[in-house]
């Protein structure tokens, strides 16, 4: 694998994460428990879709196959997606959605500022812009996780359940491969492994404040980041997300 | 016990405005979340550079029934408007 292939894979991973999570979060639009949260979730979804345009745009540029970010978003099938399994899981209740958001935001809020120092100017520029959004997202989702975790008996129980459901998907963030080594070597993207301590410190601090018990089981699911095996949920999500372009190829508005 | 979050009044200082203006209200469990909600509800079109929030119950308001005694007396006192002075442009907005 050369640097170009590694960069393409990296950009796809970043873009697929934000695309799939952005779509998931947008599913709350009009359904959130209160108006303020509804608008806040829609804002977060839009931020993530905005980041997707940049990351998938970069992936298309590196590919040099004449594709656009839209082509990559709407015309690939599940097995070509490189997002973490964590982001494709169904939303569940509001608590689970916010717990997943926090786990993702915590990672992004640490990762993106490092990527802003990338030796590749395009990566640095995207990360610089996205890191401001991630800094706000993590503040908001961490507050909500603490509020609900350290809330009523019911909200606490739901958040504990959400954490236990999602925790086995967190480890995949650090399931690295050759592409990560090549990019770290070239100074294009810090190695995910190097963020591990900082990530778990942040997550542990917030979850402790939320009075939640972190599961001790070290097993984790993988297969999204490397595209080997997504969950059954991604295909269903894409069916809905890509429907219009599949039914009316090339439709614009 | 009410299950509703308290009501907060939101004040935003716009990009070029000089003072915070009342823009509306929203619900939030505490002041910090009220600021976050205000950011998401009222500044998403790039309207603001500063946010103030105050819980609605902490605002004391004048009595609407006392309109007459409160405001009528100032009706015909045109000399209280400083419109008889020319203000040089260099002074800027006052």
What CA dihedral angle connects A172, A173, A179 and A182, to 10 degrees? -130
| Chain B partners within 8 Å of A147 (Cβ) | 29, 33
Chain-chain contact of B29 with A147 (C-beta, under 8 angstroms):
yes
pLDDT by position in tens, chain A (length 253): 999 999 999 999 999 999 999 999 999 999 999 999 999 999 999 999 999 999 999 999 999 999 999 999 999 999 999 999 999 999 999 999 999 999 999 999 999 999 999 999 999 999 999 999 999 999 999 999 999 999 999 999 999 999 999 999 999 999 999 999 999 999 999 999 999 999 999 999 999 999 999 999 889 999 999 999 999 999 999 999 999 999 999 898 8
At what angle are helices A94-115 and A35-63 packed, to 10 degrees? 40
How far off is chain A from B40, nearest CA to CA, in Å?
Answer: 5
Rounded to two decimals, the ipTM of the complex is 0.77
Chain-chain contact of A143 with B32 (C-beta, under 8 angstroms):
yes
CATH of the domain at A46: 1.20.1260.10
Domain with A203 in it = 3-247
- Residue A252, domain member (yes or no): no
Chain-chain contact of A39 with B28 (C-beta, under 8 angstroms):
no
How far off is chain B from A40, nearest CA to CA, in Å?
Answer: 5
- Residue A34, domain member (yes or no): yes
What CA–CA distance (Å, rounded) separates B27 from B57?
12
Chain-chain contact of B5 with A35 (C-beta, under 8 angstroms):
no
- Residue A253, domain member (yes or no): no
Tokens encoding A168? 């086995």
Nearest CA in chain A to B32: A143
Chain-chain contact of A39 with B32 (C-beta, under 8 angstroms):
no
How far off is chain B from A126, nearest CA to CA, in Å?
Answer: 20
Nearest CA in chain B to A137: B36
- Residue A55, domain member (yes or no): yes
What CA–CA distance (Å, rounded) separates A209 from B12?
31
Contacts 24+ apart (CB under 8 A), B36-43: B36/A40, B36/A139, B36/A140, B36/A143, B37/A36, B37/A39, B37/A40, B37/B8, B38/B8, B38/B10, B38/B12, B39/A136, B40/A36, B40/A39, B40/A40, B40/A43, B41/A35, B41/A36, B41/A39, B41/A40, B41/B10, B42/B10, B42/B12, B43/B12
Count how many domains chain A has: 1
Q: Let me know if domain B7-88 sits in CATH 3.10.20.520.
A: yes
| Chain A partners within 8 Å of B40 (Cβ) | 36, 39-40, 43
Supply the DSSP string of B25-87, one letter for each residue: EEE-SSHHHHHHHHHHHHSTTS-EEEEEEEEGGG-----GGGHHHHHGGGTT-GGGS-TTSPP
B42 touches chain A (CB under 8 A): no
Question: CA gyration radius for chain B?
Answer: 19
B28 touches chain A (CB under 8 A): yes
Task: State the pTM of this model.
Answer: 0.89
Chain-chain contact of A40 with B33 (C-beta, under 8 angstroms):
no
> In 3D, which of A3, A9, A1, A16 has the Cα closest to residue A238?
A16
C-beta separation of A202 from A110 below 8 A: yes
């Amino acid at each position: 694998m050369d640097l170009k292939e590694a960069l393409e894979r990296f950009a796809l991973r970043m873009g697929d994460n934000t695309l799939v999570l952005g779509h998931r979060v947008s599913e709350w639009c009009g359904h959130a428990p209160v108006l303020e949260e509804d608008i806040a979730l829609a804002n977060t979804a839009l931020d993530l879709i905005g980041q997707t345009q940049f990351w998938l745009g970069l992936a298309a540029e590196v590919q040099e196959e004449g594709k656009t970010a839209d082509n990559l978003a709407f015309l690939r099938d599940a097995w070509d997606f490189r997002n973490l399994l964590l982001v494709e899981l169904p939303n569940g209740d509001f608590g689970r959605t916010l717990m997943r958001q926090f786990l993702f935001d915590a990672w992004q809020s640490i990762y993106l500022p490092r990527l802003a120092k990338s030796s590749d100017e395009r990566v640095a520029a995207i990360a610089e812009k996205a890191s401001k959004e991630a800094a706000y997202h993590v503040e908001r989702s961490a507050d909500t996780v603490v509020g609900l975790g350290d809330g009523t008996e019911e909200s606490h129980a739901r958040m504990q359940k959400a954490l236990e459901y999602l925790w086995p998907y967190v480890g995949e963030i650090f399931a690295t491969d050759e592409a990560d080594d090549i990019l770290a070597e070239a100074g294009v993207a810090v190695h995910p492994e190097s963020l591990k301590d900082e990530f778990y410190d942040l997550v542990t601090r917030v979850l402790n404040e939320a009075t939640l018990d972190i599961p001790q089981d070290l097993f984790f699911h993988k297969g999204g980041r490397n595209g080997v095996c997504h969950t059954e949920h991604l295909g269903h999500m894409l069916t809905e997300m890509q429907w219009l372009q599949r039914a009316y190829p090339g439709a614009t508005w | 016990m009410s299950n509703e979050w308290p009501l907060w009044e939101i004040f935003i200082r716009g990009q070029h405005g000089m003072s915070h203006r009342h823009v509306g209200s929203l619900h939030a469990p505490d002041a910090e979340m009220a600021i976050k909600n205000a950011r998401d509800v009222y500044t998403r079109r790039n309207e603001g550079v500063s946010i103030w929030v105050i819980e609605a119950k902490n605002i004391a308001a004048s009595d609407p029934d006392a309109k007459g005694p409160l405001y009528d007396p100032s009706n015909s006192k045109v000399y209280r408007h400083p419109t008889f002075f020319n203000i040089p442009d260099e002074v800027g907005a006052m």
